[in-house]
């Protein structure tokens, strides 16, 4: 036995030292079902528009003994539009070069039927058609990204690293434009004697490049490590504006003509922008039980590209972000450890003030600065009570100070009641973990936090957004922002893992969280509640066969209301379960199967603050997916095998946003957006795998 053991160890060590070898697989897969049958499942995996695809993967690793140079090449999904390729070559402790190329196509799952011309360009033209009489158009987004990098060891303790990444994004994104016109809300609509509204399909043409550059220098020794670097991000959009033509032929009449002129104006697309960051981070070990870490960073982001040919010019956007973080870990004794951490972030908005906002009288106002200062702190103590029991207690603090509007800005008081300059939050958490026996371990944690603040200010521009007393806020109409009102939060988690037998293991957990918002009035968000149950199990039938199973259930509720209007109670229920088996029929044949079911149901229940009846409340939104997956691997010899994969999936979607009573969502020109509610798709793939030295 000793002789055989030594031989086995030598063989395993030889594979690590000399891993030269490659794996190549090639095959074909077919997808049964129409394009609409797989619109949901095929959004990102390459099944969206192709009935047959090639399956090509490759992986190779080699080592040159004379120089110690390693070379690795990997390719995945080379026959699909989700292909990935990686390459690296390095001498450990001296240098490394690497590259990566990826593609990803996002197929729009919704079916768009329209009579629009020049879809996907910056000048589409709309025309009135009969419902459903247009053509189906494909709205896809394709990403191609390339990453190149190099690492160089200047000494055993000093390295430099640089990498650059470029991502091209092209295609068309589903989007739209809409508005309503009345002489009571906008000077553009002067002469409109009544309120008119319209929505139009306006697909966004996408043709942009995002580039990222990063350079770092690293120093480390037994006690000290330091990293300094630069990170830059550059975004360039080839399309500056998009304008929808032909609106006037759809919106006929004197009153509607005013709205048509408004909606026909050019729409600005995301302008070019860039950001530059300098950072320094490090850690120092004072002794084996005490260690500190820190990070400093400064970021300057700008957006000063012209808004196409519009008279507004450009935003002149500039935002500076300063970040400082400090942490300390101290092992006070064998059983007691302390963790301390503090973080400071200041955002300074230096964006030029421009006249972008117009009220109903035609008065122009500027944009609102959005600077802020955030501070976070955490103190944690961990204690080992015994070999079986350990606990933790933590205290957290968070503070946000927001920049107030300036005198030239305008915030509609009809939408918000007031805003708050500062909020503070203090929380505490306790956790206990215990090994109850050799087969049972459990943990429980409880958390509570309270948020309050001060300096509510009115949205009256004439008074300079003056600070008001808390008592005065209770008489205001409108909604108070959910991130500014007082809030209490409670968290509870219970988890356990049980191994009643050597072949069986079970893990279970319960998570519950509850938020209660306490605004000056009941307008706004009131309460949220979430609870989730999870169970996972694994059972070893034999040395060759094993079973896995899981079940989960969750519920999330949200209660909110308007000052005068609706009271909403929203509920989201989710549940799912699955069962899987894998094993070997014999030395050559491996088999696996799994079945899974997932269900999500969203319910919206409304009442009115006035007591009036709610007419035609929205039905529930449901999403159900059932999947059966089978695979088999048959080894022809030590170097080759054949693999077969079979997937059967059914998806059911009921979403009143896109279809109600069989009638699809329609725009003003009768363009429609819909989705097939029941989708069934079958995937069958066969590939040949060859391993060689």
pLDDT digits (tens, 9 = 90+) for 582-596: 999 999 999 999 999
Residue 645 pLDDT greater than 90, yes or no = yes
Asked if residues 254 and 135 have their Cβ atoms less than 8 Å apart, the reply is no
Apex 627 CA angle, 83 and 26, nearest 5: 30
Looking at residue 191, its pLDDT comes to 59
Q: Domain residues for 74?
A: 1-109
Tokens of 488: 């209490």
Q: Which residue stretches of 41-111 are H helix?
A: none
CA distances from 144 to 56, 58, 208, 260, 437 (A): 19, 20, 11, 38, 53
Per DSSP (E only), the strands in 174-316 are 176-181, 196-201, 204-220, 224-237, 241-242, 267-268, 273-287, 290-303
Asked if residues 597 and 562 have their Cβ atoms less than 8 Å apart, the reply is no
The arithmetic mean of pLDDT across residues 521-542, rounded, is 95
Residue 14 pLDDT greater than 60, yes or no = no
Asked if residues 650 and 626 have their Cβ atoms less than 8 Å apart, the reply is yes
Apex 384 CA angle, 378 and 389, nearest 5: 115
Looking at residue 6, its pLDDT comes to 40
Residue 663 pLDDT greater than 90, yes or no = no
Model confidence at 324, pLDDT cuts 50, 70, 90, reads very high
Residue 459 pLDDT greater than 90, yes or no = no
pLDDT digits (tens, 9 = 90+) for 35-74: 889 898 888 887 777 788 889 999 999 998 888 899 999 9
Looking at residue 416, its pLDDT comes to 83
Whole-angstrom Cα Rg for the chain: 31
The arithmetic mean of pLDDT across residues 642-647, rounded, is 96
In a domain, 95, yes or no: yes
Asked if residues 307 and 269 have their Cβ atoms less than 8 Å apart, the reply is no
Looking at residue 147, its pLDDT comes to 98
DSSP for 600-667 reads EEEEEEEEETT-PPPPSPPPPEEEEEEEEEEEEEEESSSSEEEEEEEEEEEEEEE-TTTEETTEEEE-
Cα–Cα distance for residue pair 76/82, rounded to 1 Å: 8
Cβ contacts of 30-33, under 8 Å, gap ≥ 24: 30/683, 30/684, 30/685, 31/681, 31/682, 31/683, 32/681, 32/682, 32/683, 32/684, 33/679, 33/680, 33/681, 33/682
Residue 5 pLDDT greater than 60, yes or no = no
Looking at residue 95, its pLDDT comes to 96
Looking at residue 265, its pLDDT comes to 87
Tokens of 610: 């006035």
Among 39-53, 165-179, 292-306, 448-462, name the one with the lowest average pLDDT.
Answer: 39-53
Asked if residues 23 and 58 have their Cβ atoms less than 8 Å apart, the reply is yes
Looking at residue 523, its pLDDT comes to 87
The arithmetic mean of pLDDT across residues 617-635, rounded, is 95
In a domain, 32, yes or no: yes
pLDDT digits (tens, 9 = 90+) for 601-614: 999 999 998 888 88
The arithmetic mean of pLDDT across residues 324-342, rounded, is 96
- Name which residue leads in pLDDT, 406 or 440: 440
Q: Which residues contact 522 (CB under 8 A, 6 or more apart)?
A: 561
Residue 226 pLDDT greater than 80, yes or no = yes
The arithmetic mean of pLDDT across residues 438-464, rounded, is 91
Unique residue bearing structure tokens 């509510």: 456
Q: Is 128 left (phi over 0), alpha (psi -120 to 50) or beta?
A: beta
Model confidence at 407, pLDDT cuts 50, 70, 90, reads confident
- Percent of the chain's residues with pLDDT above 70: 93
Residue in 141, 134, 244, 253 with CA at minimum distance from that of residue 199:
244
Cα–Cα distance for residue pair 443/530, rounded to 1 Å: 20
Tally of domains within the chain = 1
Cα–Cα distance for residue pair 174/658, rounded to 1 Å: 13
The arithmetic mean of pLDDT across residues 313-336, rounded, is 94
Looking at residue 4, its pLDDT comes to 38
Residue in 199, 276, 202 with CA at minimum distance from that of residue 239:
202
Tokens of 633: 């691997």
In a domain, 71, yes or no: yes
Looking at residue 192, its pLDDT comes to 55
Cα–Cα distance for residue pair 301/317, rounded to 1 Å: 8
| H/E run at residue 456 | strand 440-458
Residue 9 pLDDT greater than 50, yes or no = no
Asked if residues 497 and 507 have their Cβ atoms less than 8 Å apart, the reply is yes
Model confidence at 218, pLDDT cuts 50, 70, 90, reads very high
Asked if residues 94 and 153 have their Cβ atoms less than 8 Å apart, the reply is yes
The arithmetic mean of pLDDT across residues 298-307, rounded, is 92
pTM of the model: 0.89
Among 14-18, 19-23, 57-61, 479-483, name the one with the lowest average pLDDT.
Answer: 14-18
Residue 357 pLDDT greater than 70, yes or no = yes
In a domain, 317, yes or no: no
Q: Which residue stretches of 175-270 are H helix?
A: 247-250, 254-263
pLDDT digits (tens, 9 = 90+) for 131-161: 989 999 989 999 999 999 999 999 999 999 9
In a domain, 56, yes or no: yes
Give me the chain's average pLDDT, please: 90
Going by DSSP bridges, is the β-strand pair 336-349/224-237 parallel, antiparallel, or unpaired?
Answer: unpaired
Looking at residue 185, its pLDDT comes to 58
Model confidence at 517, pLDDT cuts 50, 70, 90, reads very high
In a domain, 23, yes or no: yes
Cα–Cα distance for residue pair 405/391, rounded to 1 Å: 46
How many C-beta neighbours within 10 Å does residue 269 have?
Answer: 20
Model confidence at 7, pLDDT cuts 50, 70, 90, reads very low
In a domain, 145, yes or no: no
Cα–Cα distance for residue pair 375/324, rounded to 1 Å: 10
Unique residue bearing structure tokens 């976070």: 376
The arithmetic mean of pLDDT across residues 75-91, rounded, is 94
Cα–Cα distance for residue pair 94/532, rounded to 1 Å: 49
pLDDT digits (tens, 9 = 90+) for 365-401: 888 889 999 999 999 999 999 999 999 999 999 999 9
CA distances from 296 to 29, 202, 234, 343 (A): 51, 43, 22, 10
In a domain, 188, yes or no: no
| H/E run at residue 420 | strand 418-435
Reduced to 3 states (helix: H, G, I; strand: E, B; else coil), residue 5 is helix
Cα–Cα distance for residue pair 285/291, rounded to 1 Å: 4
Model confidence at 194, pLDDT cuts 50, 70, 90, reads low
């Amino acid at each position: 036995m000793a002789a055989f053991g030594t031989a086995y160890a030598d063989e395993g060590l030889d594979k690590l030292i000399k891993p030269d070898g490659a794996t190549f697989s090639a095959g074909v897969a077919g997808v049964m079902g129409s394009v609409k049958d797989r619109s949901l499942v095929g959004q990102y995996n390459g099944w969206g528009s192709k009935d047959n695809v090639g399956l090509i993967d490759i992986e190779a690793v080699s080592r040159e003994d004379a120089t110690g140079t390693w070379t690795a090449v990997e390719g995945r999904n080379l026959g699909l539009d989700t292909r990935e390729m990686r390459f690296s070559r390095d001498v450990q402790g001296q240098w490394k070069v690497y590259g990566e190329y990826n593609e990803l196509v996002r197929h729009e799952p919704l079916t768009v039927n329209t009579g629009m011309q020049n879809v996907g360009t910056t000048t589409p033209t709309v025309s009135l058609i009969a419902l459903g009489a247009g053509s189906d158009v494909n709205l896809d987004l394709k990403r191609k990204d390339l990453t190149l990098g190099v690492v160089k060891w200047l000494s055993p303790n000093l390295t430099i690293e640089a990498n650059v990444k470029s991502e091209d994004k092209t295609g068309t994104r589903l989007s739209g434009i809409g508005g309503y016109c009345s002489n009571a809300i906008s000077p553009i609509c002067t002469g409109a004697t009544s309120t008119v509204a319209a929505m139009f399909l306006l697909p966004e043409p996408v043709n942009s490049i995002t580039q990222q550059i990063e350079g770092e220098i690293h120093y480390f020794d037994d006690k000290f490590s330091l990293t300094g670097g630069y990170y830059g991000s550059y975004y360039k959009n080839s399309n500056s504006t998009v304008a929808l033509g032909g609106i006037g032929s759809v919106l006929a009449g004197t009153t509607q003509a005013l709205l048509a002129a408004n909606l026909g104006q050019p729409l600005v697309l995301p302008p070019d922008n860039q950001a530059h960051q300098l950072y320094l981070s490090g850690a120092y070990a004072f002794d084996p039980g005490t260690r500190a870490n820190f990070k400093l960073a400064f970021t300057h982001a700008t957006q000063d590209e012209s808004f196409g040919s519009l008279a507004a010019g450009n935003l002149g956007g500039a935002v500076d972000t300063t970040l400082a973080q400090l942490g300390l870990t101290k092992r006070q004794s064998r059983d007691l450890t302390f963790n301390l951490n503090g973080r400071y972030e200041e955002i300074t908005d230096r964006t030029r003030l421009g006249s972008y906002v117009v009220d109903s009288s035609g008065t122009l106002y500027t944009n609102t600065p959005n600077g802020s200062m955030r501070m976070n702190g955490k103190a944690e103590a961990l204690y080992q009570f015994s070999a079986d029991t350990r606990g933790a207690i933590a205290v957290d603090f968070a503070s946000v100070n927001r920049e107030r509007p300036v005198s030239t800005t305008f915030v509609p008081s009809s939408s918000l009641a007031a805003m708050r300059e500062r909020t503070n939050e203090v929380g505490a958490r306790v956790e206990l973990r215990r090994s109850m026996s050799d087969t049972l371990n459990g943990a429980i944690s409880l958390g509570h936090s309270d948020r309050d603040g001060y300096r509510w200010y009115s949205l009256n521009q004439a008074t300079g957004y003056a600070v008001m007393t808390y008592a005065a806020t209770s008489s205001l109409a409108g909604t108070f922002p959910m991130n500014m009102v007082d809030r209490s939060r409670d968290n509870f988690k219970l988890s356990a893992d049980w191994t009643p037998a050597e072949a069986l293991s079970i893990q279970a957990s319960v998570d519950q969280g509850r938020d209660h918002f306490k605004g000056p009035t009941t307008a706004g968000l009131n309460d949220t509640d979430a609870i989730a149950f999870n169970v996972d199990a694994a059972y070893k039938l034999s040395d060759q066969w094993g079973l896995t199973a899981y079940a989960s259930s969750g519920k999330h509720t949200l209660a909110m209301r308007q000052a005068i209007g609706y009271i909403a109670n929203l509920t989201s229920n989710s549940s799912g379960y699955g069962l899987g088996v894998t094993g070997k029929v014999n030395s050559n044949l491996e088999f696996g199967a799994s079945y899974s079911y997932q269900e999500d149901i969203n319910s919206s229940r409304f009442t009115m603050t006035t007591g009036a009846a709610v007419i035609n409340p929205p039905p529930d939104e449901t999403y159900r997916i059932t999947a059966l997956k089978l695979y088999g691997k048959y080894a022809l010899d030590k170097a080759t095998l054949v693999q077969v994969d079979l997937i059967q999936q059914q998806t059911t979607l009921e979403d009143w946003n896109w279809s109600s009573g069989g009638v699809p969502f329609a725009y003003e020109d009768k363009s429609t957006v819909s989705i097939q509610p029941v989708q069934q798709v079958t995937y069958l793939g066969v590939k040949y795998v060859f391993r060689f030295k």
